[in-house]
Structure 1
Amino acid sequence: MMTAETATPVPTGVRTGLYALVQHFYARQMQALDDGRFEEYAATFTEDGTFQHTPGTEPARTRPGIVAELNRFHEKFADDPVRRRHYFNQLVLDPQPDGSYRSTVYALIVRIRPGERPEVWPSCVVHDVLVVDGDEVATRSRTVSYDHLPDAV
């Protein structure tokens, strides 16, 4: 049994205010995505940001490229009343030498269709590089890995 005397603290290297700022950033970012406000979602990325949400595909590059990719992806659901809610949890921020932060987040996506029970699909890990300037946060890159795939990272 570990006691307070034998426990080794885990260094976080991240101040509490920054952690809360990033959580708030993710909440606004995911609500924009879930509500289909793709331009607003893309605006949370740096101008040259990259976004890869489907393993094995080339990432979308730049804000207009991210909007185009999201529109393309959601076309297949045009006749499906599905709604999605992205839940980010277990956020870990690691400072990088260039001043950015590597962010690793567990994500559960809940799919909801009218008259049906919500289902969790899929479970993912989101790997971001975040740029923080004062109270402003932007995603420089995002790669999503899926827990159910054999090559999950």
Structure 2
Amino acid sequence: MTAPAATAADLSAVSAESYAQILQFYAHHMQLLDGGDAEGWADGFTEDGVFAQNVKPEPWSGRSFIATSMRRGIDRLGARDVQRRHWFSMVVATPETAGAGDEEAVRTTYYAVVFETPRGGKASVYLSTTGADLLVRRDGQWLIKHRDIFHDGV
């Protein structure tokens, strides 16, 4: 299963300001995760946010459940003395109008590579993915309402 690719018809652009804010959001969001702050990372989701992966049987639903689930994963990495770094790139952001209500909404697709480095070891690529998010802007902040991660090779 792979993420759907954007077509030329889908590429109506968001403003340069919104695009820059989205990139800044992603950079901060991933640095929280890589720094071990599962709860701060989960705060980047709406209260009813969803985090789904094609390698998991069920999506994680709700900010609190997302935080608890990610905390377990970060703690497992800490027990292995491994550092991960998430690299987002090739971000495409298009305005979303259907079902967004009064809030601004944007669909993004992107590539993400995750590097893993054991203490005293060398960095290596842990996995490569494609992501697709529905972002909403609330109180001037971007939040993830729904995230789908598609691991390559699955």
Decide whether the 8 Å contact of 2:106 with 2:135 is kept in 1.
yes
Give the structure with the higher percent helix.
2
Task: Please state how far the C-alpha of 1:56 moved relative to its aligned partner.
Answer: 3.7
Superposed CA RMSD: 2.0
Task: Please state how far the C-alpha of 1:124 moved relative to its aligned partner.
Answer: 0.4
- Matched residues in 2 for 1:102 and 1:41: separation? 19
Alignment deviations for residues 58-81 of structure 1 (CA, whole Å, 9 cap, x no partner)? 111111100111123334435311
**1:110 alignment partner AA:** F
1:31 is the counterpart of 2:59: no
In the other structure, the counterpart of 1:147 is 152
Alignment deviations for residues 11-60 of structure 1 (CA, whole Å, 9 cap, x no partner)? 53211111100000001100111111111111111110011245242111
Number of residue-to-residue matches in the alignment: 141
Task: List gaps (5 residues or longer) in structure 2.
Answer: 1-7
TM-score by length of 1: 0.83
Task: List gaps (5 residues or longer) in structure 1.
Answer: 1-7
**1:72 alignment partner AA:** R
Q: 1:128 aligns with which of 120, 124, 133?
A: 133
Between the two structures, name the one with larger relative contact order (CA 8 Å, sep ≥ 6): 2
- Matched residues in 2 for 1:53 and 1:33: separation? 16
Moved more, 30-39 or 68-77: 68-77
- 1:62-77 alignment runs, 5 A limit: 62-77=62-77
- 1:81-92 alignment runs, 5 A limit: 81-92=81-92
- Matched residues in 2 for 1:95 and 1:140: separation? 14
Q: Secondary structure at the match of 1:13?
A: coil
- Matched residues in 2 for 1:11 and 1:107: separation? 20
Decide whether the 8 Å contact of 2:53 with 2:151 is kept in 1.
no
In the other structure, the counterpart of 2:96 is 96
TM-score by length of 2: 0.83
Q: Secondary structure at the match of 2:93?
A: strand
In the other structure, the counterpart of 2:143 is 138
In the other structure, the counterpart of 2:110 is 105
**2:12 alignment partner AA:** T
Decide whether the 8 Å contact of 1:21 with 1:135 is kept in 2.
no
